[in-house]
Structure 1
Amino acid sequence: MDQEQGRTAPRGHARTKSNTSVGSNNPSKLRHTRSKSTKKLDSIYSDEATIAFIKRTLCAQQLTGPEGSRARNTSKPLSELLPPLTSSNQVDLQLYALISIIIKDFVQAWYSRITPDQQFTDQVVQIIAHCTHALELRITAVDLEALIFDELFELIDVHVTAYRTAHSGSYTSFLVANPREIYHAINPHPALSPVPFEAGSLASLDQAENEAAWRQLLIQGVLSHLLPPEDLNNPPLRVLVTEIFSELIIGRGVCGNICEGWFIWDVVSKLLAILRPSGSDVLQQPPISPNRLEKFGLLADDSDDAEEPPAIARRCPVDALSSVFLQVMQYAFLAFISLRAFFSALSDAASLPPRTNNSEDSMHGELDDSGSLSQHSTRDSPKRPILGMSLWSCCSHLLSLDLQMPWLTTMGAYIQWLLICSSWKVGCTNSRLDRLLSHHIHTKILDPTRLPSILLLIRTNMFPNNSLGPGRVPPTPEEAMELRARCAASIIAALPPIVVKQVFAKRGEEEVQKQVEEMLETFGDAYLNKHLVVAIVDLVVVRLFPELAEQRIQVS
Structure 2
Amino acid sequence: MDQETGRAMPRSHARTKSNTSVGSNNTSRPRHNRSKSSKKLDSIYSDEATVAFIKRTLCAQQLAGTEGNRARNISKPLSESLPPLTSSNQVDLQLYALISIIIKDFVQAWYSRITPDQDFTDQVVHIIAHCTRALEQRIRAVGLEALLLDELPELVNVHVTAYRTAYSTSHTSLLVADPREIYHAINPHPALSPVPFEPESLASLDQAENEAVWRQLLIQGVLSHLLPPEDLSNPPLKVLVTEIFSELIIGRGVCGNICEGWFIWDIVTKLLALLRPPESDVPQQPPASPNRLEKFGLLADDSDDGDETPIVTRRTPMDTLSGVFWQAMQYAFLAFTTIRMLLTALSDAASLPPRANSKEELTHVDLDDGGSIRQQSTHDSTTRPILGMSLWSCCSHLLSLDLQMPWLTTMGAYIQWLLICRSWKVGYTNSRLDRLLSYHIRTKMLDPTRLPGILLLARTNMFPNNSLGPGRVPPTPEEALELRTKCADAILAALPPIIVKQVFAHRGEEEVQRQVEDMLDAFGDAYLNKHLVVGIVDLVVVKLFPELTEQSISAVLKRNDSGEEVRV
Aligned to 1:66: 66
Task: Name the CA distance, whole Å, in 1 between partners of 2:274 and 2:365.
Answer: 38
Q: Which runs of 5+ in 2 are unaligned?
A: 1-22, 285-301, 357-361, 367-377, 555-566
Supply the AA of the counterpart residue of 1:37.
S
- Report how far residue 67 of structure 1 moved: 1.0
* Higher gyration radius (CA): 2
Q: Which residue of 2 aligns with 1:52?
A: 52
SS in 1 for 2:172: coil
Deviation at 1:279, TM superposition (A): 4.0
Deviations for 1:240-294, whole angstroms, at most 9, x for unmatched residues? Answer: 000000000000000001001111111111111111122499799xxxxxxxxxx
Shift of 1:510: 1.4
Within 5 Å, give how 1:254-293 maps onto structure 2.
254-279=254-279
Matched-pair contact (CA < 8 Å) for 1:268–1:487: yes
Answer whether contact 1:51 1:78 (CA < 8 A) is retained: yes
Mapping 1:520-535, distance limit 5 Å: 520-535=520-535
Q: Find the counterpart in structure 2 of residue 242 from structure 1.
A: 242
Q: Which residue of 2 aligns with 1:215?
A: 215
The aligned length equals 500
Change (3 A) 1:300 1:427: farther
SS in 1 for 2:171: coil
For residues 394-405 of structure 1, what are the structure 2 equivalents within 5 Å? 394-405=394-405
Deviations 1:136-157 (A, max 9, x none): 0100011111011111111110
Q: Which amino acid in 2 is paired with 1:41?
A: L
Aligned residues of 2:380 and 2:430 also touching (Cα < 8 A): no
Q: Which amino acid aligns with 1:23?
A: T
Which residue is equivalent to 1:484? 484
Equivalent in the alignment of 1:463? 463
Q: Hey, what does 1:103 align to over in structure 2? A: 103
**2:488 touches 2:513 (CA, 8 Å); kept in 1?**
yes
Q: Which residue of 1 aligns with 2:194?
A: 194
Once the two structures are aligned, what percentage of the paired residues are identical?
80
Matches within 5 A, 1:298-447: 322-356=322-356, 357-359=362-364, 381-447=381-447
CA contact (8 A) 1:358 1:382 kept: no
Q: Compute the TM-score of the two structures, normalised by the length of structure 1.
A: 0.85
1:23 is aligned to: 27
Q: Please list the CA deviations of residues 390-419 of structure 1 after superposition, one character each: whole Å capped at 9, or x if unmatched.
A: 111111111111100100111111111111
> Is the Cα–Cα contact under 8 Å of residues 221 and 553 in structure 2 kept in the other structure?
no
Partner in structure 1 of residue 134 of structure 2: 134
Q: Give how far 1:503 is off.
A: 1.0
SS at match of 2:382: coil
Q: Match of 1:14?
A: none
Q: Deviations over 1:490-513 (max 9, x none)?
A: 111111111001112243111111
Structure 1 residue 171 displacement after superposition: 1.3
The verdict on how the C-alpha distance between 1:478 and 1:177 changes in structure 2, with shifts beyond 3 A counting, is same
Task: After superposing the two structures, state which structure 1 stretch, 49-58 or 513-522, moved more.
Answer: 513-522
State the Cα distance separating 1:326 from its structure 2 match: 4.2
8 Å CA contact 2:380, 2:429 repeated in 1 = no
Q: Write the distance in 2 (CA, Å) between the matches of 1:318 and 1:263.
A: 59
Secondary structure of 1:402's counterpart equals helix
Are the aligned partners of 1:167 and 1:179 in contact in 2 as well (CA < 8 Å)?
yes
Per the alignment, do residues 533 and 339 of structure 1 end up closer, same or farther by CA in structure 2, a change over 3 Å counting? same
Q: Which amino acid aligns with 1:232?
A: L
Q: Assess, with a 3 A threshold, how the Cα gap between structure 1 residues 280 and 151 changes in structure 2: closer, same or farther.
A: farther
Q: Distance in 1 between matches of 2:509 and 2:481?
A: 18
Q: 1:299 to 1:165 in 2, by over 3 A?
A: farther
| Equivalent AA in structure 1 for residue 27 of structure 2 | G
Q: 2 CA distance for matches of 1:259 and 1:171?
A: 24
Residue by residue, what CA displacement relative to the aligned partner does 1:99-150 show, whole Å, maximum 9, x if unpaired?
A: 0000000000111111111110000000000000100010001111101111
**Higher relative contact order at CA 8 Å, sep ≥6: structure 1 or structure 2?**
2
TM superposition shift of 1:35: 3.1
Whole-angstrom CA distance in 1 between matches of 2:25 and 2:172: 48
Other-structure match for 2:42: 42
The answer to whether the 8 Å contact 1:21/1:33 transfers is no
Distance change in 2, residues 1:315/1:201 (3 Å): farther
- Structure 2 length-normalised TM: 0.83
3-state SS, counterpart of residue 469 of structure 1: coil
1: distance between equivalents of 2:315 and 2:33? Answer: 48
Q: Separation in 2 of the partners of 1:322 and 1:42? A: 57
Cα distance change on mapping 1:317 and 1:270 into 2, 3 Å: farther
Match of 1:145 in 2: 145
In structure 1, C-alpha distance between the alignment counterparts of 2:72 and 2:228, rounded to whole Å:
34
Say which is worse superposed, 502-511 or 93-102, in terms of deviation: 502-511
- One-letter identity of the residue aligned with 2:100: S
Instruction: Determine the C-alpha separation between the residues in 1 that align with 2:215 and 2:494.
Output: 36
Output the CA distance in 1 between the equivalents of 2:510 and 2:452.
36
Question: Using a 3 Å threshold, how does the CA distance of structure 1 residues 161 and 498 change in structure 2: closer, same or farther?
Answer: same
* Superposed displacement of residue 318, structure 1: 5.6
Partners in 1 of 2:192 and 2:283 — Cα distance?
43
Counterpart in 1 of 2:92?
92
User: Which secondary structure does the structure 2 equivalent of 1:353 belong to?
Assistant: coil
Give 1:477-516 correspondences, 5 Å limit: 477-516=477-516
- Flag the 1:198–1:322 CA change in 2: closer, same or farther, 3 A: farther
CA distance in 2, matches of 1:340, 1:299: 43
Aligned-pair distance for 1:424?
Answer: 1.8
Distance 1:358 1:413, change over 3 A: farther
2:205 alignment partner in structure 1: 205
Structure 1 unmatched ranges of 5 or more: 1-18, 285-296, 362-377
SS at match of 1:106: helix
CA RMSD, aligned part only? 2.7
Tell me, what secondary structure is at the counterpart of 1:423? Answer: coil
